[in-house]
Chains A and B, each alone.
Chain A
Amino acid sequence: MPEFIADFFRQLAEDHPRWNFIFFYEPVEIQRVLSGIGVTLQLSIVCLILSVVIGIIGAWLQGSPIKWLRNIVQGYIQFFRNTPPVVQLLFFYFALGQFTPTYSPDGWLEIPWISNVGWAIISLSFFAGAFNVEIFRAGIESVPDSTKEAAEALGYSRMKSYIYIILPLAFRVSLPALNNNLVNLVKTTTQAIAIAVPELLYQCVTIWNNYPSAQYPAMLFLFVFYIGLVGLIVMGMNRWERQLKIPGYGV
């Protein structure tokens, strides 16, 4: 952080005691906010990738001829769609977390193989993944049967036509809904505070618990950060949507 910015905020805190942007000039607090942003981004990106993978696999399984497999996928979707994500987090971390094997690096501590961050990633990925399954499913159903048939007539196997023909088309149709879901996922990462994952909200709460004078600045910062992040995602996805747009093909 350049010194003059730090000085500016230090001065601001002196002039206006309620606007103490301590996380812009105190190295410890700067570090805290940076690590919070790091964890939030890490959670968002890892969950984003995993949830898309879950969505693709789930949508593939839903097209399977085996009925009980389809029912299990449907059960999974309904479970994660119709229960609160914050309770899912607690359930995964506390109720399932107690069964994870532990290891002991020094003979005293018992550290579980899956940390709270790990459980947050698992829980949030499955949460967002449940929506992605339905999003991709709808996309796949939007590909006309005749296109699938043409692929079949050219000798494509089910797997190959899925990879080369159906998914690329379905993906384009799915993008707007996917966009919404990913924005929702990023917003939901804040709920990992329930299992003490040190993401940005957690760090900001810590800061204003330590320095009540930093409460308003930290809240303002949270808004700016999240709306900025959401804005970036929406912009990036819109650009991607335009790039993938097929000439002369109305999606």
Chain B
Amino acid sequence: MKSIPGINSKASTDFAVLKPPARNQVSHWHPNSTSFTRWLSELSILNCFLFILLAFVFSSLAFAQSNYTTTDAVDALFRWMPFLLKSGFFFNILISLLVMLIGTLTGIVLGLGQISIHGWLRKLCWAITQFFRNSPWLVLLFVVMLAFPFQIEIFGLTIPVPDWLKAVIGLSLPIMANVSEIVRGAVISVPSGQWEAAESLAYTRLQTLWQIILPQCFKRMIPPWMNWYAILTMATPLVSILGVEDVLKLARDATEAEGNHPELLMPFYTFVLVLFFIYCYPIAKLTQRLERKFSVKG
């Protein structure tokens, strides 16, 4: 077989989305099952999740010792909710969208670099990809937040770089690297016969890539790309460790403003967890559905 630069080598894309486990439906009636287990079995996954959380919250009622009760804490949470949602969680979403945009655009360039015909470019792009894929996100965030200048000068123009923008850059780096791997993995998943067929029809390499190869693997790139979007969204609260005011930071500020009672922690952190769950769970479900749909057609 003819060797095609950057195409025939092995991929190591971690398409981390797993197929959902097929649950074998047990439909026949168990005469000895109590109504409780039947009720439990009819709960959907989401309900099950909320049920566990509720159990946590109510168990905390039993432990309440000071005058400040969990009911007070829940009242406090309801007062803060609109603020946490509007100024906090929407900010996280905003960050995630911006990061995804930057990370995807740079990642596609880097990924195409990884299948370049120039050996040095291929190696360089591979090294950059591996470096940012394998570094912990938090270390990258720390480095960008602390080592990046707080303002940059372009053509004599001084542009300030606020903390949130640094956070966006810091989170974009691992997304860029992972999108790069998705692109490379998808391109080399197209059988090399396609390259040869295109070449025999006098397509140039660039034409082959844009008109033959990428249209074939575009669909296959969507599920892992969405998966990374969900992972990214769940990484956004990391910026709070560096003092950026996201939902997690605001939640902590709010509990402090309410007098730092330990009873506040459970409802506030639960709220943050629920917010992320409500946002990320449908994305995960959709990702699985698309993956199944695309994998059938191959």
Contact = CB atoms under 8 A, between A and B. Distances in A.
Interface string A55-72: 000000010011110111
B136 A85 contact: no
A206 interface: no
B138 interface: yes
A94 B265 contact: yes
Contact of A95 (B20, B37, B270): B270
Contacts of B281: 78, 82
A223 B130 CA distance: 12
Interface in A180-221: 180, 183, 187-191, 193-194, 201, 205, 208, 215-216, 219
Interface string B230-257: 1000111110110000001000000000
A134 B56 contact: no
Contacts of B46: 78
Interface in A34-72: 62, 65-68, 70-72
A232 to B, nearest CB: 11
Contacts of B276: 82-84, 87
A227 interface: yes
B94 interface: no
B90 interface: no
B257 to A, nearest CB: 16
A201 B26 contact: no
The residue in B63, B236, B273 that gathers the most chain A C-beta atoms within 10 A of its C-beta is B273
Contacts of B22: 141
A226 B134 contact: yes
Contacts of A227: 131, 134-135
B235 A194 contact: no
Interface in B152-195: none
Contacts of B270: 91, 95
A180 B147 contact: no
A99 interface: yes
A20 B21 CA distance: 52
A86 B238 contact: yes
Contact of B273 (A91, A191, A223, A226): A91
B136 A190 contact: yes
Contacts of A191: 138, 238, 241
Contacts of A62: 21, 23
A80 B7 CA distance: 36
Contact of A190 (B14, B63, B139): B139
A219 B138 contact: no
Given A75-B49, A215-B147, A201 B41 contact: no
Contact of A219 (B45, B147, B234, B265): B147
27 contacts: A66-B37, A68-B43, A71-B40, A74-B48, A75-B45, A75-B49, A75-B51, A79-B277, A81-B284, A82-B281, A83-B234, A83-B273, A84-B238, A86-B248, A95-B265, A98-B265, A141-B19, A189-B136, A190-B137, A190-B139, A191-B138, A191-B241, A193-B138, A194-B241, A219-B139, A222-B139, A223-B135
Interface of A: 62, 65-68, 70-72, 74-76, 78-79, 81-88, 90-91, 94-96, 98-99, 131, 134-135, 137-138, 141, 177, 180, 183, 187-191, 193-194, 201, 205, 208, 215-216, 219, 222-223, 226-227, 230-231
